[in-house]
Amino acid sequence: MKMFRLAATAAVVLLSLGAAQAQTTLRIGLAEDPDILDPTMARTYVGRIVFAAFCDKLFDIDEKLNIVPQLALSSETVDDGKGLVIKLRPGVKFHDGEPFDAEAAKFSLERHLTLPGSFRKPELASVDHIDVVDPLTIKLVLKSPFSPLLAQLTDRAGMMVSPKAAKEAGDKFGLHPVCAGPYKFVERVQQDRIVFEKFADYWNKDNVFIDKIVFQPIVDATVRLASLKSGSLDLIERVLATDLKDVRADSRLKVATAIELGYQGITLNIGKDKAKGPLSQSAKVRQALDLTIDREAINQVVFNGEFQPGNQWVNPDHPYYQKAFPIRPRNVEKAKALLKEAGVTPPINVDFLVPKGAETEAVAQVVQSMAAEAGFDLKIRVTEFATSLKQAEAGEYQAYMLAWSGRIDPDGNSYVFLHKDAPQNYSAWANADADKALDDARLTSDMAQRKAVYEKLAKLELDDEGILYIFHRRIIIAHTTKLEGYKQMPDGLVRVVGLKLK
Amino acid sequence: MLNFLARRLAQIVPTLFFVSVLIFSLQQLLPGDPALVMAGEERDPAVIEQIRHQYRLDQPVPVQYAYWIKGVLVGDFGESLRNKMPVRELIAQKLPVTLQLGAMAIIIAFLIGIPAGIVAAVKKGTAWDYGANFFALWGISTPNFWLGIMLIFLFSIELGWLPASGYVPLSEDWRASLAATIMPAFVLGNAIAAILMRHTRSAMLQVLESDYVRTARAKGLSERSVILKHAMRNALTPIITLGALELGTLLSGAVLTEQIFSIPGFGKLIVDAVFNRDYAVVQGVVLVTATVYITLNLIADIAYILVNPRLRG
């Protein structure tokens, strides 16, 4: 008996040693702890990074923002834009062994549309119902044409979940998610780690080389970088722009970057300003404020020149950027002249709502000192984020530093902020022509046509200035040189297929 | 003694009730709408309305309180708004982490603080005394986050001896667990050690001047025996109480240190919950912390009575 036990122990030890050597683990440091891991109920950017490891979507994007198939094979717009036929990839399995087919795709989309508390419902609002055409084809029947739909399906709204697991778990699905991605969920300890292991039956398993992925939230950027340097992590997201020099100088580290899809800007209260300050009353005053801002100087002073100055809801390298409206160079004299035209005498007091955060506050201070030269007195009011949002909704501000993480389709960066009565139109800007342009852009999928429509919108927005777009952040990912094959996509997510650890 | 215990236990119930009402009402004063925060960037009015309804945020505060306290009485603290985890499970995950960190910090604090205090008292006015006092001043005035980051730079990046962040449960791998918690425990313990040192020093000085110590010396006992057997025992009783209370503070007060070292403990749980307006989590954690604190207080009182018969009355 003793002998047997000894042998068994020895065998276990040997086995575990063997396994330890063969197993490769990718450890990723996140800037926040993600929210629930249910694609229907999730709502954070950091959560999307985790989803990319285990929850495949119908479509994906490439580096140039083209939409490419993932769990789908192809798509076709029919019925004058009121139908979208999607052919599905055959032979795909969910992590629980259930097959992925037209019924499962229909189930996932319907779950997004109907589950109470679903955050995908607004994204799929154009969908009336889903038809199963054949076992590997579905058709989305729309209430009206909606060209951004395909782009929605490259994100959480396009994520497919196992019907069996989802039915059993209900709204607790996110505690043990079952999808069809390259890795499957093992365990999660809140605020500590989320563990995934390679899924043996993944449809693209030949390109998955790492056995395990562990996500660790580490909130402090300095500590996150320290953990990467000390070797307890292999890849980290959201490196500070001011740390880039340091990272580049380290021969054991590599940097991957892309300019974000979102923007950083200042929303100006036009329609809800109870004090009726000059900013809300005259477009000329808003233009004057815009002219006092030297965007490149902000970039240099606060971000070591690593970010990209901008003036529209998409960055200057984006296919939908309107080159006809470049950034206006700083011109304090012209700003003063505009103020005179508007009949306003300085100093112009502005209640400037700024969410707490070192970088945000620094930008606000630079803007404050620039605007002062033309006679603006921006009174910075630093406020914790949740509170600032509430005040912005209530219109208790005159200028509000607000960022948007960005969506793949330009509609996602413009409609909800600029359309009259849209949920996030904090400026309460209302312009019938702009509304028409926003609506028209949804009707056609042709890029040239859409761009022409957006050009009208850009002109209106840049004249009226409900939002001053200031700059676009650089998504900065740092990883050890042991990790090979990493490519940064503009959506900031970490794609794990194709990665190798030496 | 029994009388005293019964009285103290009876006090706990109204105290906890008061705490629960306080948590609930203070939270309502927090600006910002939990439904709005929860929605993140997806601020669709219909969805937000649905969240409000689902979590009864649209009901009057007393009604919300009644629902909550009804659950708490049967051990159901509700579920996290943010990730649907039962709050009880979250607390069960975090409490051992914080207790481990707290215990290690207290041990470190005692190991450093008490010997330093005794040495300072015995060698009063010498370089030893000044050195210990300097250490105390340094320990109290050094910010935790600064010391933490410096330790990470030294031991994780330069020397590569310890992991910079993260946590491994004791049950999984005790060595890795100690390696992961020794730096944060030192940061926390260091500050407490300074306080303990100051208290030990003054208590020892008092005792050393008392008559019975003089008698002990007169009996011809060795100095070692006088200090360790006679003086220290008496001086230490209030120090133990102080230690127990500091442990209670550590439960909720280790926020910054937990944040720096990414230790998933109680402090981090509650700070994140406040920022996410995750009411159920805030309520649950504060209530549990209050309970533990009250219990530690009670234990300290009992310990005090046990070692000091004069209080037994």
pLDDT one-digit tens code per residue, A286-345: 999 999 999 999 999 999 899 999 999 999 999 999 999 999 999 999 999 999 999 998
Residue A219 to residue B259, Cβ atoms within 8 A: yes
pLDDT, position B134: 87
B26 burial (CB, 10 Å; 0-12 / 13-18 / 19+) is: exposed
pLDDT, position B252: 66
Q: What gap in Å lies between CA A199 and CA A207, rounded to an integer?
A: 12
Q: What gap in Å lies between CA B113 and CA B125, rounded to an integer?
A: 18
CA distance to partner chain A, nearest, from residue B157 (Å): 5
The closest of B238, B296, B254, B297 to B94, measured between CA atoms, is: B254
**pLDDT over 90 at A434, yes or no:** yes
Which residue of chain A is at minimal alpha-carbon distance from B265?
Answer: A191
- Centre a 10 Å sphere on the Cβ of residue B260 and count the other Cβ atoms it contains: 27
**pLDDT over 70 at A17, yes or no:** no
Residue A172 to residue B84, Cβ atoms within 8 A: yes
pLDDT, position A5: 53
B204 close to A (CB below 8 A): no
**pLDDT over 50 at A1, yes or no:** no
Q: Are A126 and A409 in contact (CB under 8 A)?
A: no
pLDDT, position B273: 85
pLDDT one-digit tens code per residue, A253-271: 999 999 999 999 999 999 9
Mean pLDDT, rounded, of chain A: 91
pLDDT, position A15: 46
Q: Where does the pLDDT of residue A20 fall: very low under 50, low under 70, confident under 90, or very high at 90 and above?
A: very low
Least confident of A23-27, A277-281, A432-436, B265-269: B265-269
Q: Are A399 and A266 in contact (CB under 8 A)?
A: yes
The closest of B255, B259, B242, B251 to B291, measured between CA atoms, is: B251
- How many residues are listed for chain B in this entry? 313
CA distance to partner chain A, nearest, from residue B77 (Å): 16
Residue A284 has, within 13 A of its CA and on its CB side, a CA count of 12
**pLDDT over 70 at A222, yes or no:** yes
Q: Name, in order, each residue with C-beta under 8 angstroms of B288's C-beta and a sequence gap of 6 or more.
A: B91, B95
pLDDT, position A12: 47
Which residue of chain A is at minimal alpha-carbon distance from B155?
Answer: A230
pLDDT, position B308: 66
CA A229 to chain centre: 27
**pLDDT over 90 at A483, yes or no:** yes
B259 close to A (CB below 8 A): yes
Q: Which residue has the higher pLDDT, B27 or A273?
A: A273
What pairing do the DSSP bridges indicate for beta strands A500-501 and A483-484?
antiparallel
Least confident of A66-70, A89-93, B131-135: B131-135
Put residue A274 in one of left, alpha, beta given phi > 0 → left and psi -120 to 50 → alpha: alpha
Q: Are A315 and A472 in contact (CB under 8 A)?
A: yes
Question: How far is the CA of B182 from the CAs of A223, B170, B174, B175, B261, in angstroms?
Answer: 16, 12, 12, 10, 11
A364 close to B (CB below 8 A): no
The string of DSSP codes covering A44-65 is -HHHHHHHHHH--BSEEE-TT-
Please list the residues that pair with A85 across neighbouring strands. Answer: A76, A139
Question: How far is the CA of B176 from the CAs of A212, A236, B119, B163, in angstroms?
Answer: 19, 22, 34, 9
Q: What gap in Å lies between CA A315 and CA A335, rounded to an integer?
A: 25
Residues of chain B with pLDDT under 70: 1, 40-42, 252-253, 307-313
Considering only CB atoms, B85 lies closest to which of A121, A190, A424, namely: A190
Enumerate residues 113 to 132 of chain A having a beta carbon within 8 A of any beta carbon in chain B.
116-119, 121-122
Interface probe for A, chosen from B27, B28, B84 (most Cβ of A below 10 Å), is B84
pLDDT one-digit tens code per residue, A448-479: 999 999 999 999 999 999 999 999 999 999 99
Enumerate residues 145 to 184 of chain B having a beta carbon within 8 A of any beta carbon in chain A.
149, 152-153, 156-157, 160, 163-167
Considering only CB atoms, A229 lies closest to which of B42, B82, B157, namely: B157
Q: Are A87 and A75 in contact (CB under 8 A)?
A: yes
- Centre a 10 Å sphere on the Cβ of residue A337 and count the other Cβ atoms it contains: 15
| Residue A206 identity (one-letter amino acid) | D
Residue A37 has, within 13 A of its CA and on its CB side, a CA count of 26
3-class SS of residue A141: strand
Considering only CB atoms, A226 lies closest to which of B85, B94, B152, namely: B152
pLDDT, position B253: 64
Determine phi and psi for A402, rounding to 5 degrees. -140, 135
Provide the ipTM.
0.75
Residue A193 to residue B90, Cβ atoms within 8 A: no
pLDDT, position B1: 67
pLDDT one-digit tens code per residue, A150-171: 999 999 999 999 999 999 998 8
